[in-house]
A = this chain, B = another copy of it.
Amino acid sequence: MKNHKLRFLIILPLFVGCFTLFGQDDEDALFLKGIHDYTLKDGMCYKWLEHLSEEIGGRLAGSEGSELAVAYTAEELMKIADTVYLQPCQVPYWVRGDEEVVHLINSDGKHIDIGGLALGNSIGTGPDGVLAEVIEVFTLDEVKSLGEKGISGKIVFYNRPMDPTKIRTFHAYGGAADQRVNGPALAAEYGALGTIVRSLTTSIDDFPHTGVTRYKEGGPQIPAIAISTMDANTLHDMLTKDVVNVYMKSNCRMVAESKLSYNVVAEIKGSTYPDEIILVGGHMDSWDVGGGAHDDGAGCVHSMQVLETLRKLDYKPKRTLRCVLFMNEENGLGGGLAYAEASKANGEWHMAAIESDAGGFTPRGFSVDANDPIFAGLYRQLLEWDDLLQPYFLSFSKGGSGADISPLKGQNGLLMGFRPDSQRYFDFHHTANDRIHAVNERELKLGAAAMTSLVYLLDNHGLSFDDE
């Protein structure tokens, strides 16, 4: 008899433990299905994105479009959040001005008129434009080797393609972006008169891709224009058999180094742990051309959808959920820095922050970042949700999070990046073609549902931050 009782006492807790565990997993699985069902059927994200991309359009920091977007998203968020406020930040205000002119001129004097887009934050050429011989380079080191003798008085043409063999296109982008970001400043140091940059895409097409460039503080500044990959190939071919001059004209300019703008912040207060913040966000600003549909309208509406879905499912979060639409990611990070500063001043702690800034494509999962020594322990906790996320083809991987939330790393919480399929992203990135037609509604909604699922799990279960 005694023996039997003992067995019972040992077995009971195991059984109850199993049962509870099984019950919780079931409840989670059911809730994740509810999130997906609601989002796919009734989620607002695609309609919001259509408005941002097509009604408002380009939303560069400081522009009228950016102001309209702040007003529109704040209004929409008021329908679904407890609190919505505009958080001031300082941003540069750069304008493109008139359409750029780029001519390739061979030794017979024949002009080929090609398209171009001035790089963000770059200076214009002045009304007369710049005319000079072109020199093609593939790396920044090549500019250094050529030195003043080889570079001075010339227009430098950076033409290293993105590596098509990288499976993740962001890796290929990372391997080529130095030309656009730092190439003009370096060429200027050696006396170049202007810079032409091959567009950052693996696609061979006729769309120039803009993007930010950085001059060195106090260093010389020269005009910089991106040309399409097709035109870059044409110029390359011309250069193999001829001396080529380029005429470039732009009147882009920095209107103000610092102008008042806003992040949009929307919050649902946590019921049990209101001081533990879970942030979802994207960036509101986009380049002036196109509609910023994938970059990063998608990330904004993903984040808004998280709140809408949880509200519509009548979920009461234990922790404080905050949706932040950051201003000025593209050419300054004014919004991200202001947010982090205010958060620090308020003594806040972000248990987790998730940024979506990789487009509105089919979700594949999330990349995970945190400071050592807590990283390994947090990552292990996330992997316990693998089975719950597997029906939606989502998984975790190690990697970066997002530019806007990266200043929060000092808070020692979890940082994550939403990771959709990356194959088409750089077909549209920073071009006039980044419009709603490039976004598939189901793919966008699945991304929003993925984000919401993760937020639900983080909120419902929390994370243990004990060092391991």
Contact = CB atoms under 8 A, between A and B. Distances in A.
Interface string A154-177: 000000000011010100000000
A446 B421 CA distance: 12
Interface residues of A, number: 24
A441 interface: yes
Contacts of A427: 440
A423 B165 contact: no
B421 A40 contact: no
Interface in A385-409: 391-393
B164 A392 contact: no
A202 B36 CA distance: 15
Interface string A20-43: 000000000000000011001100
A40 B164 contact: yes
Nearest to A427: B440
A132 to B, nearest CB: 33
Interface string A223-267: 000000000000000000000000000000000000000000000
Nearest to A165: B37
Nearest to A37: B165
Nearest to A38: B165
Contact of A167 (B167, B169, B364, B391): B391
Interface string A119-135: 00000000000000000
A164 B393 contact: no
Contacts of A165: 36-37, 40-41
A37 B167 CA distance: 9
Interface of A: 36-37, 40-41, 164-165, 167, 169, 202-203, 362, 364, 391-393, 421, 423-424, 427, 440-443, 446
